[in-house]
Amino acid sequence: MHHKTIIISDVHLGTKDAKTRELSKFLKFNTCDRLILNGDIVDMWHLKRRGKWEKKDTRVFRRIIRMMKNYNTEVIYIRGNHDDFLDQFIPLQIGKFSVVSSFDIISKGKRYFVTHGDVFDAISTRFRWIAQLGDKGYKLLLWINRRHNNIRRFKGLPYSSLSQKIKQKVKIATRFISDYEITMADFARRRNYDGIICGHIHKAEILDVEGIKYMNSGDWVESFSALVEDHDENWQVVFFQSVIPVNDDVEAG
């Protein structure tokens, strides 16, 4: 299917939890005029510690390059906190590829501010050591999630995000998400935007927050989600599992 816009975020290339095969397949069967990579596409925090860049990570960028070549796709890469190494390149534009700190979208006559969203997270911006400590805890949760799904796969069961289920039951996590959504909507209102599009918290959603449209593209380590805009400028959250069967054996290429 060909869309006007696809927005993905929080892929975390360079980590074992990045679902590169699924994302490559998603982008093979879901093309677009404009692709926005909304932060944390490359996980430089992990790569600096002990990560390893693998062929599967490169495959994602090869797929994106094919989209640019075959569909003349415009690619906009917005920096996130895990790929903040991009700060040294901002602003950068090479043909249809650009690197920016934020972006504006007009859809059905309404203005949307597009940002990764980490700048609105006080822990990520002011107390980076706490954020990195929390990142290690999250990596442990994802490690448990991998083991959980290895067992499910052995039993012939589909993927299930144990880590997301745990987060949804932890009150402090649900309160953080709610506060984050309100903070993002407040920012958009103060800047006279009609809506805000972000990532960062790995929770795909489209909400009306006191008259402000809040849209989050989710992630590609747990939920395999993206925001898509059709050519009538309607937005929706789509999930890999609903677009392409998880057990599909077609190579992403």
pLDDT in tens, 185-233: 999 999 999 999 999 988 999 999 999 999 999 999 988 999 999 999 9
Helix%, strand%, coil% for the chain, nearest 5: 40, 25, 35
**Position with higher pLDDT, 129 vs 166:** 166
**Position with higher pLDDT, 43 vs 121:** 43
The topology (CATH level 3) of 2-243 is: Purple Acid Phosphatase; chain A, domain 2 (3.60.21)
The per-residue pLDDT for 177 is 77
And the tokens for 132? 């990195």
**Position with higher pLDDT, 14 vs 50:** 14
User: Do 251 and 45 touch, CB atoms closer than 8 A?
Assistant: no
The per-residue pLDDT for 128 is 47
**Position 167 confidence tier, pLDDT thresholds 50, 70, 90:** low
CA of residue 101 relative to chain centroid, distance: 15
**Position 242 confidence tier, pLDDT thresholds 50, 70, 90:** confident
User: What percent of the chain has a predicted confidence (pLDDT) above 70?
Assistant: 75
And the tokens for 202? 């790995």
The per-residue pLDDT for 234 is 98
Q: Are strands 97-100 and 103-107 parallel, antiparallel or unpaired?
A: unpaired
Please tell me the pTM assigned to this model. 0.80
- Order of strands, sheet of 110-114, starting from the edge strand that comes earlier in the sequence: 103-107, 110-114, 195-198, 212-216, 205-209
pLDDT in tens, 97-149: 999 999 999 999 999 999 999 887 654 444 343 345 455 555 666 656 666 66
The per-residue pLDDT for 119 is 81
Torsion sign across C-alpha atoms 198, 175, 124, 13: negative
Burial class (CB in 10 A: 0-12, 13-18, 19+), 192: exposed
Mean pLDDT of all residues in 166-174: 54
**Position with higher pLDDT, 39 vs 162:** 39
Residue 166 has pLDDT above 90, yes or no: no
User: What percent of the chain has a predicted confidence (pLDDT) above 90?
Assistant: 62
The per-residue pLDDT for 213 is 98
Domain boundaries, the chain: 2-243
Q: Give the Cβ contact number of residue 74 at 10 Å.
A: 17
* Distance, first Cα to last Cα, the chain: 17
Mean pLDDT of all residues in 28-32: 96
And the tokens for 198? 């972000």
CA distance linking residue 21 with residue 15, whole number of Å: 13
Mean pLDDT of all residues in 35-43: 97
The per-residue pLDDT for 36 is 98
Q: What is the CA radius of gyration of the chain?
A: 17
Mean pLDDT of all residues in 80-87: 91
Average confidence score pLDDT of the chain: 84
